[in-house]
Structure 1
Amino acid sequence: MFGKKKTKPQIDKDQLELIENAQKRIKQKKRLYIHFIIFLIGAVFLIIANTALGIGKDITFFGKEWFLFAILIWLFLLIYHIFSVFIIHKFMGKNWEKAQLDKLINKQQERINKLKQGLIKEEALVAQSEVYKKTITNNANLTIIVAAAENNAIGKGNQLIWHLSDDLKRFKALTNGHYIIMGRKTFESFPKPLPNRTHVVITRQKNYNAPNGVIIVNNLEDAIDAAKTDSQPFIIGGGEIYKQAMTLADKIELTRVHHSFEADTFFPEIDDAIWKETENIFHKKDKNHDYEFSFITYERK
């Protein structure tokens, strides 16, 4: 009997909010009732004070006696109080606030869903790219081979800017017996297909006419897939194909010509954070070479 504790009634948050709101409404209505009584008493007092007692009888505003304006002001306050208690509470009370909050939450949720859809698409593309890159890495050692000036110039008017015999010999020695992947303009810069190499030409032109043995594809991915039987296919140009291949290649065989040239085609910058130099052979200028140059090999870190 002495050990038992009194149990406290449990009221959830929703019930408590309803009770508090009801109490607030009761107080508002009580204040309105008191205001109305005060208005009636005050109005009667003002009329008696002016008409019976003659207080301020000579005071007028705009040709009207002062007590008329006092009653109008008093009435305005009463109407404002009624408007505040009933009209504003009805249209802008708890239910109105909740409706506005729900609308805001719904808009935010729509934005979040759009962002999620965008992220899902982006993640799918990244995953697809990673899987594709992994497939390439497992099947081939994709190599970019290029001759570029100090300012990364590689050509002008679809032609080489220089003639370096040792560079041409190195190109032939490295690519001999392999697949060489190129854009249409690079292919068209050759007098004829290079011997002992399989040409893969990327072009968006439909029904492109090429000699027998030349493989025609529409994009770099298909070109790499066409060369999947080769342990080391080479990317040989031009500028846009080099740019696309930079994220997929494992090695760069660069002939760096130590001079700057005017050009309309350029090789992308080599990022030292991604690529490491593994070999560098310098060649001086001589009677067969008008410029100094270096054979540089880069491998992906």
Structure 2
Amino acid sequence: MFGKKKIVPQIDKDQLELIQNAQKRIKQKKRLYIHFVIFLIGAVFLILANTVLKIGEKFKPFDIDWFVFAILIWLFFLIYHIFNVFITHKFMGKAWEQEQLEKLVAKQKIKIEKLKTELKREMPHIAKSEIYNESLNPERKSELTIIVAAAENDAIGKGNKLIWHLSDDLKRFKNLTNGHHIIMGRKTFESFPKPLPNRTHIVITRQADYKVPEGVIVVNSLEAAIDVTKNELQPFVIGGGEIYKQALAIADKIELTRIHENFEADTFFPKIDTTIWKETANTFHKKDEKHDYEFSFLTYERK
């Protein structure tokens, strides 16, 4: 009952035989090569033993140095080994290898035909698969997400700068947008000291020949920006106010950090219409030594 489960080989009998025979052939040739090398070294050693070390110097059967007979006897065993590998086991030569290859190819053809038959049988089910249909649809919709931090009065910035500094909010922004395309207006882009790492920046501007660092993409409309991200699963819109207003009409999700204070500002986030948007997550944070204001992480999804 608790014994080890017997492992069933996934390779069929003929394939397994081919592999085992090939391994056997390799071992045979490897042993023959080793035998040949040892024979050469041994022959030199026997000659030196007799001529330099004077071992058996006076032993000369038929007036011939003894090492000659020793080398000839060893050579006989080497020749026998060569004969055994290339003659006795000739069935494992090129003709045998070709026969095994043809046998293996024939079996693979049978398997391919079997797979084709099974695929035809499953095609109606595959055609109904949502994943399959999405993979065929080049216009597959990605999840456009707005990410923003806004006060209770919807203030988001003043003088092209953030009004607050919340460490956890910055961490959340980094974690959510890392590895994704981020869409922004020109002023938002210019508020960064430099492009954010590990993100593809798409800047919307009407300025002709707007200069940007290498890797940053410039477009002249939100529609063009979205077209750039058509192969991205979750591009993010990160500002500013006018871009947010345009994106709100077509976005699928809003990741909102709501700061529970009112601020003077010159840029505001549009009001969220709860008849269109459903709150799906809400995490409250108290103020502490790193955060001067209470705030909440909210997630809205389009109904």
Per the normalisation by structure 1, the TM-score is: 0.55
Unaligned runs of 5+ in 2: 1-136
Classify the secondary structure of the residue corresponding to 1:180.
strand
Matched residue, 1:3: none
Deviation at 1:137, TM superposition (A): 8.5
Q: CA offsets, 1:39-91, max 9 Å, x none?
A: xxxxxxxxxxxxxxxxxxxxxxxxxxxxxxxxxxxxxxxxxxxxxxxxxxxxx
Query: 2 CA distance for matches of 1:190 and 1:136?
Result: 34
Query: 1 CA distance for matches of 2:237 and 2:139?
Result: 15
Q: How does 1:194-233 map to 2 (within 5 A)?
A: 194-233=196-235
Deviation at 1:136, TM superposition (A): 11
Query: 1 CA distance for matches of 2:139 and 2:150?
Result: 25
* Closer/same/farther in 2, CA of residues 199 and 296 from structure 1, 3 Å limit: same
Matched residue, 1:91: none
The reply on whether 1:157 has 2:159 as its aligned counterpart is: yes
Which is higher, the Rg of structure 1 or of structure 2?
1
Classify the secondary structure of the residue corresponding to 2:183.
strand
> 2:139, 2:230 within 8 Å by CA — same for their partners in 1?
no
Deviation at 1:300, TM superposition (A): 0.2
* Closer/same/farther in 2, CA of residues 203 and 136 from structure 1, 3 Å limit: farther
Classify the secondary structure of the residue corresponding to 1:138.
coil
Classify the secondary structure of the residue corresponding to 1:285.
coil
> 2:204, 2:225 within 8 Å by CA — same for their partners in 1?
yes
Q: 1:158 corresponds to which letter in structure 2?
A: N
Unaligned runs of 5+ in 1: 1-134
Matched residue, 2:170: 168
> Which of 274, 286, 289 pairs up with 1:287?
289
* Closer/same/farther in 2, CA of residues 257 and 247 from structure 1, 3 Å limit: same
Runs of 4+ in 1 over 4 A off after TM superposition: none
The reply on whether 1:188 has 2:190 as its aligned counterpart is: yes
Q: 1:206 corresponds to which letter in structure 2?
A: A
* Closer/same/farther in 2, CA of residues 289 and 232 from structure 1, 3 Å limit: same
Query: 2 CA distance for matches of 1:136 and 1:259?
Result: 44
What is the number of residues matched between the two proteins? Answer: 167
Matched residue, 1:242: 244
Deviation at 1:227, TM superposition (A): 1.1
Q: Percent identity?
A: 76
CA RMSD of aligned residues (A): 1.3
Matched residue, 1:255: 257
Q: How does 1:39-188 map to 2 (within 5 A)?
A: 138-188=140-190
Classify the secondary structure of the residue corresponding to 1:245.
helix
Query: 1 CA distance for matches of 2:257 and 2:229?
Result: 24
Query: 1 CA distance for matches of 2:217 and 2:150?
Result: 26
Classify the secondary structure of the residue corresponding to 2:213.
coil
The reply on whether 1:298 has 2:297 as its aligned counterpart is: no
* Closer/same/farther in 2, CA of residues 136 and 300 from structure 1, 3 Å limit: farther
Per the normalisation by structure 2, the TM-score is: 0.54
Classify the secondary structure of the residue corresponding to 2:245.
helix
Deviation at 1:229, TM superposition (A): 1.5
Query: 1 CA distance for matches of 2:139 and 2:227?
Result: 12
